[in-house]
Structure 1
């Protein structure tokens, strides 16, 4: 068996070019003054032997420290964004040895002013790259436009803003996920009415993700020529008493509605109401296998969950930015879609999100 080829080092390049290792380093990394003749010799050798510097060693030697800011919604234990945060931490653990720091700037996903403040703080600190959840479409567009003007690369997760120069998007196809939700609820039935519960946000701002999913849901109804009306009402993210009053009024006004959809991860709010009121004859669909959602599914009050591998998308988003700095590489595709996984009571126990896939 022949011996493997010896790896070419910066010392070999220096010897072949007849210059010092320091001169080779300055030419390769474009640092410091080098004579025209030395520059020509080094470049000629590099081309001839196809020398490629070690990306890790080069980054460490440069002593350049890169900062990535992750703009994400705040969370409590068991929330959707706690799961995504695990993906950010996993990516950071893999990249921190290469002079890359990751910080998370949180905002209240139900207050557009909180999101704007987080954007303002990020711009004032001006990191080298940003991972962002564009919860509020208008404010997020303004923010990434400023990032682009400052040549700061950014990655979207969960939803994206078409027409902006994002480096990459990691998440499910959002419009199609709303379409899929409609198909699951309506394909084998023909209800005249469907209930949709969304959540109040400040300043009449709407969730980018939920709005796009609703568009996909309505597109299915239009495409299938269904005579089906979507009734939309609004709940509060953490006011149980007020939500009970809203749901009481809604079902008193619409006693015949049997099909319900929630376009975010809080389907458990409605499922727990249905369970408390013995309304097990409703068909409810929501998103994301949070612990409370799964519990409701097992008890029979949440029929479908569409899952989107939230830990994986956060992990891959941060890794894409790390690879940009370490390897100087960009993702092969700007749009990197996660699978839309349909969970039921029969398979929910076996669902696994693998962030290193």
Structure 2
């Protein structure tokens, strides 16, 4: 499809190229009737500004910020996001774009607030962040809105926020996908355990949405009639995990399947392997190295992925497009839900 140029709009409107340029870039005085005519023609012709040419000509430096959890140890999922951001920066290399990282400890409200304030003190022109801690993120959004700083959510979505866009999974729907996998693989009379590894589940938005989707499946169409038992484990420390899991499994011997609602599925897989448990169907989230190891060993049967590198890469590019050409992205862009088992894991 041929790209519409300013000269094409000028020819159709019967005005000079300079007049069209002034209207499209809001520079100088143009009669209101002429302005309306040019804008209408531009819309009809589906004119898209040449972002590359504009940004290169302007030679403006864009200072962006990324506020995300620190990856590593048992929190390996968040190692992938900086890789996606760095890839986007390489693609945008002709332009003057830099991103400063502000890493906070996952589920640590105090650290999130400290890093948020540090970020705001640096006055970024655009922000990419994971609003995992709902209350604290709502407060940050209000400050970003007040200062007219555009921001994009990754991983987690907060309703009624003024974000430019959200890029990530439909957490509710992914919970239903997890439920369907368990429903097909477990006896209808057996109980199901939902494990949430979080310090404050109520304030952890994406885990809540997954749980809601999971439960909705069984209320709607699920065949399983066993109990759905939920346990919240505040730490990945082995002694705490062992204590919580020992108690819940001894108290509920009919449990035959486990959903781990986060990327820390390997923590529960480690427990199952150490206890030499058999005939437990385990479904969890994210294609991390530790999770894949247990998938290949047969301890985990299914993983659900959401392409974290692609999330952050897209977020950078959408924010750049908005800052350079005011291109509004879609409010939500859901990543496709990937179902991974031992048969297809090497394809990812």
Equivalent residue, structure 1, for 2:280: 282
- Whether contact under 8 Å (1:195, 1:260) holds in the other structure is yes
2:283 match: secondary structure: strand
State the Cα deviation string for residues 128-155 of structure 1 (Å, max 9, x = none): 1111101111211121122122211111
2:255 match: secondary structure: coil
Deviation at 1:201, TM superposition (A): 1.8
What is the 5 A alignment of 1:16-95? Answer: 55-76=51-72, 79-95=76-92
What is the 5 A alignment of 1:85-234? Answer: 85-187=82-184, 189-201=187-199, 206-224=203-221, 227-234=225-232
Equivalent residue, structure 1, for 2:12: none
Equivalent residue, structure 2, for 1:299: 297
Q: Partners of 1:268 and 1:52 in 2: how far apart?
A: 46
Deviation at 1:195, TM superposition (A): 1.0
Q: Partners of 1:85 and 1:101 in 2: how far apart?
A: 13
Deviation at 1:199, TM superposition (A): 1.9
Q: Partners of 1:27 and 1:258 in 2: how far apart?
A: 66
Equivalent residue, structure 2, for 1:240: 238
- Among 266, 270, 273, the alignment partner of 1:272 is 270
Computing the radius of gyration over CA atoms, which structure comes out larger, 1 or 2? 1
Q: Give the number of aligned pairs.
A: 331
Equivalent residue, structure 2, for 1:348: 345
Q: Partners of 1:246 and 1:53 in 2: how far apart?
A: 57
Could you say if the C-alpha distance between residues 178 and 61 of structure 1 is closer, same or farther in structure 2, counting changes exceeding 3 Å? same
- Whether contact under 8 Å (1:221, 1:228) holds in the other structure is no
Q: Partners of 2:203 and 2:189 in 1: how far apart?
A: 27
- Whether contact under 8 Å (1:84, 1:314) holds in the other structure is yes
Deviation at 1:268, TM superposition (A): 0.8
Q: Which runs of 5+ in 1 are unaligned?
A: 10-16, 352-357
Please report the TM-score for the alignment, with normalisation by the length of structure 2. Answer: 0.83
1:182 match: secondary structure: helix
- Whether contact under 8 Å (2:193, 2:228) holds in the other structure is yes
Could you say if the C-alpha distance between residues 229 and 8 of structure 1 is closer, same or farther in structure 2, counting changes exceeding 3 Å? closer
1:258 match: secondary structure: strand
Could you say if the C-alpha distance between residues 28 and 262 of structure 1 is closer, same or farther in structure 2, counting changes exceeding 3 Å? closer
- RMSD of aligned residue pairs (Cα, Å): 3.4
Could you say if the C-alpha distance between residues 311 and 54 of structure 1 is closer, same or farther in structure 2, counting changes exceeding 3 Å? closer
Q: Partners of 2:316 and 2:241 in 1: how far apart?
A: 36
Equivalent residue, structure 2, for 1:323: 321
Q: Partners of 1:180 and 1:106 in 2: how far apart?
A: 31
Deviation at 1:277, TM superposition (A): 1.5
**Deviating more after overlay: 225-234 vs 276-285:** 225-234
